[in-house]
Structure 1
Amino acid sequence: MTDTQLSPEGDSPPSSGRRPSKFRRLITPRTLGIGSAVAAGAAAVALVFATQTAVQATSSPEAPESTPIAADSTDEGAPEKAEEVAKPAAIAAAYDQLSGAEVEYVRFVGAQDPAFAAGVDLFGEPGLQFLSTDVADPQAYADGQRRLLSLYYDYGTNETVSMIVNVTTGAVEAVDRASGTQPAPTDAETARAWELLLDSESSQPIVDEFAALTGGSALTPASAEVLLTAHSFITDAGSFGAESCGVDRCVQLLAQIDGGAFLTTSTFVVNLSTRTVLTVS
């Protein structure tokens, strides 16, 4: 395994070579829903998907750095499930940063495409699992129109799905799929992985360790004392026990108690595709 080895007080923080997405306070998976920012790994995937058959502009201003964002939503109130989301009153220029209003709009527009409804989300329900939205590379187009690129995961086929939405015209222009690519997990996926781990037969040592470190507190998926970090897990030649990960959507968790000790979780990988907990070595 490439993760940091375990210490007597639990897992150590991740090394600089393989950092998880970010710290986040645990919330119930259904409250977290399907919206979350994807870190730099997802942006790299977005660039791969963004190769469109469009004319490259002969000259254009240098594009400012863009950070993928996601409009706040819950599973029940996500833009994909809305009856209508209005187009932003003012359409941003091709190089402008994202706004929450246009992210909500392109998520709604994308959900009207047949490819969205044909997918399966994190909870096994119809609809692709939303991951992130970012600005599509303006230099790939010559018309100066505003386009955003959304990333989704299809748990029915284990594919990452990219969707280009033209904000100017309100149309889905391209949908592409790729297997074997694993963007960083969202908040919803992180929380779901934690829930599956604690519900598994492997959880007892973690529960006991938490009780010992907190003076007897009971560990539940909603325990506010725990801060979770997660990263996508892809098996390699040095890992055994999770050979399907990389094709399947797998997550490895790091759980820290109130900014202090880390629970021993790095020997486990949660396969979100099969909803199983794997022991790795």
Structure 2
Amino acid sequence: MRETVHRHLGMLVAGVALAAVGTAAVVAITLPGTAGADTSGGARGGGPGADAVRPGVVEQAPAEGRKGSGRDPLTDDEIRRAEQIALNRQLLNTGENVDGGRGPQRLSVDLAEPEAGEADDPAAPRRADITFYDYGDDTLVTKTVDLDTGKVERTGTQRGVQPPPSRAENAEAARLLIAAPLGAGLKADYKDATGRDLTSPDQLLLGGGIYRAAPGAQPAVLDQCGVHRCVRLFTKVRNGPWIDTRSLVIDLSARKAAALERG
């Protein structure tokens, strides 16, 4: 089946037919009346509400494990160590993750850019940038750690800066949507496609993009999107069709879902 099938959400399309379209949509998509959609938010650099950089140090650095060298990508051991160094006791105790659990939500761990004068130095220290989102106060926290010394060199906090959602955040957005009255169409489309009930995000392949509020582009319940962390999902039945959920927005901070107003 390659044709578009109009169903409960307005578009249920065979995976073969929409594979290329769906892949492109995850990268960037703009719909009439949804100019607030943003799938490319950045995590680094200055931004609204950026706090002064402040140094810090952990009580005890975890074991180093397998190390990379130079500009090689971070190893799995380095990624784990960087997160352990960055996630100090205060942040762990006061932060909140996407499902309301203890500690902030990890978004990314990346090899940090070299400092001035270190670009050609083979012995330059390896550093990692770790980005968290604290749902307790809607704050983006970025820490730079020196993997050799185990010290936190820089900490930055920002509000209103929204990097792309992580896999865990997309899954939680889908979980909230499935449980909400607004998810009835998604569940009906899934049952039409598979003959089974949709009860878990694990039954879907998920992509997501950040939604930012824009005047006149959303119902009032979504006016805080941009300060709140809000996600639009791109959903696909595993081994099946895409289900068009682009008109639905999940506010992960408020744990609510809403439909965009059609222009």
The offset of 1:112, in angstroms, is 2.2
> Which residue of 1 is the match for residue 209 of structure 2?
231
Which residue is 1:45 aligned to? Answer: 43
Provide the residue aligned with 1:205 in structure 2. 185
Choose the corresponding residue for 1:149, options 120, 124, 129.
Answer: 129
Percent of paired sites with the same residue: 25
2:200 is aligned to: 221
Tell me, yes or no, if structure 1 residue 265 matches structure 2 residue 245: yes
| Structure with the largest fraction of strand | 2
Name whichever of 168-177 and 123-132 sits farther off. Answer: 123-132
Q: What's the CA shift for 1:202?
A: 1.0
Asked if 1:99 is matched to 2:75, the reply is: yes
Displacement of 1:92 after TM fit?
A: 2.9
SS at match of 1:138: coil
Determine the structure 1 residue equivalent to 2:12: 10
CA distance in 2, matches of 1:180, 1:117: 23
Structure 2: where are the runs of 5+ without partners? 1-5, 29-38, 54-59
1:132 matched to 2:108? The reply is yes
Give the unaligned 5+ runs of structure 1. Answer: 1-5, 21-39, 54-82
Q: Within the alignment, does 1:186 sit opposite 2:180 as a pair? A: no
* Alpha-carbon offset, residue 277 of structure 1: 0.8
TM-superposed deviation, 1:258: 3.6
Could you tell me which residue of structure 1 aligns to residue 90 of structure 2? 114
By how many angstroms is 1:8 displaced? 4.4
Aligned length: 225
Root-mean-square deviation (CA), in Å?
Answer: 3.2
| Cα deviation, residue 201, structure 1 | 1.0
- Counterparts of 1:107 and 1:151 in 2: how far apart (Å)? 9
Deviation at 1:124, TM superposition (A): 1.7
Give 2:44's aligned amino acid.
A
- Match for 1:172 among 144, 149, 152? 152
SS in 1 for 2:258: strand
Aligned pairs for 1:34-113 (under 5 A) are: 41=40, 44-48=42-46, 85-88=62-65, 90=67, 92-93=69-70, 95-112=71-88
Shift of 1:261: 2.6
Conserved in 2, the CA contact under 8 Å of 1:111 and 1:117? no
Q: TM-score, normalised by structure 2?
A: 0.74
**In 1, Cα distance between equivalents of 2:82 and 2:235:** 34
Amino acid across the alignment from 1:127: G
Letter in 1 for 2:69: A
User: Deviation string for 1:20-75 (max 9, x for gaps)?
Assistant: 6xxxxxxxxxxxxxxxxxxx946x423558xx98xxxxxxxxxxxxxxxxxxxxxx
